[in-house]
Amino acid sequence: MASHYLELTDAQTIVTSGFALTQRAVHDCVEMNAIGAVYGGAGVGKTFAVEHASSTAGLKTHRLTFPKQPAITHLTKTMLRELTGIEHHAERFKLTTDLLAVLSEEPRLLVVDEAQQLNADAFDYLRFLHDSPSTRFALLFVGGHGCWRTLSRHRMLLSRIFRSVAVQSLSEDEVVELLPRFHPVHAGASIENLLWVNDEFAQGNFRCWSAFTQTVATLCASHRVATYTHELAQAALALLPSWQANVA
């Protein structure tokens, strides 16, 4: 199972529209051995949603992260190391042949994180591996907004994307509806406090909400209360860096 940001205890998995669409997209891609893309701003929950979906996909999943504009040899070696667990040393043609053989062995899901860092050659190489009739794998590109911009620039990939999900920040309505179910510390919080924290700090961003929840839950525990008041929320935000920066 996927783990929550900061290993937050007592947190529940919340089914947002982005989360639900990601589950569906990943399962469809796995079913069809197709290519998909999940993109959105930092901290909106796309990695968590993809991890959750891949953990229930029922096949081997490999998470791949490449440096910015990787050389094809580097890409090939990284993939072979991730897929086989050992380092491979050979010329690129042979490495690619080996990689094609490994990718033909069994169905897999390859998740490429930070996909916006890939260049045209890298995308074309992944397209080539996926197009090869012998290989059997679903390919998922995950990344920030730049990810989709990069993908859509390359027609050879765009025409092969079977599912794409843009994961958005939570709206105010979603914050009010979903946060009380996310963690017990929010269950008794007033709507005003939730919206105030969202407005001042979280902006519908799940990673920010996790950081706030972790902090405010610790404060609640030290004050032996189940939920937070406006003062406790203020105290929690004072401990969180970006809020202080905003106030300053």
Contact residues toward other proteins (CB under 8 A) are: 72, 92-94, 96-97, 121, 124-125, 127-128, 131, 133, 155-156, 159-160
How far is Cα 98 from Cα 100, in angstroms, rounded to an integer? 5
How far is Cα 58 from Cα 52, in angstroms, rounded to an integer? 11
Whichever of 92 and 181 has its CB closer to other proteins, that residue is 92
Least distance from other proteins to the Cβ atom of residue 140, Å? 17
Least distance from other proteins to the Cβ atom of residue 64, Å? 17
Whichever of 87 and 91 has its CB closer to other proteins, that residue is 91
Whichever of 123 and 201 has its CB closer to other proteins, that residue is 123
Whichever of 55 and 97 has its CB closer to other proteins, that residue is 97
Residue among 247, 239, 248 at smallest CA distance from 216: 239
Least distance from other proteins to the Cβ atom of residue 216, Å? 49
Tokens of 120: 């045209």
Whichever of 72 and 235 has its CB closer to other proteins, that residue is 72
Find the helix or strand (DSSP H, E) in which 161 lies.
strand 161-167
CB 9 within 8 A of CB 220: no
Tokens of 210: 């996790």
Least distance from other proteins to the Cβ atom of residue 142, Å? 21
Least distance from other proteins to the Cβ atom of residue 82, Å? 19
Tokens of 97: 């042949």
Residue among 211, 144, 202, 215 at smallest CA distance from 175: 202
What's the start-to-end Cα distance of the chain, in Å? 39
Residue type, 105: E
Secondary structure of residue 39 in the 3-state scheme: strand
Whichever of 82 and 131 has its CB closer to other proteins, that residue is 131
Least distance from other proteins to the Cβ atom of residue 213, Å? 44
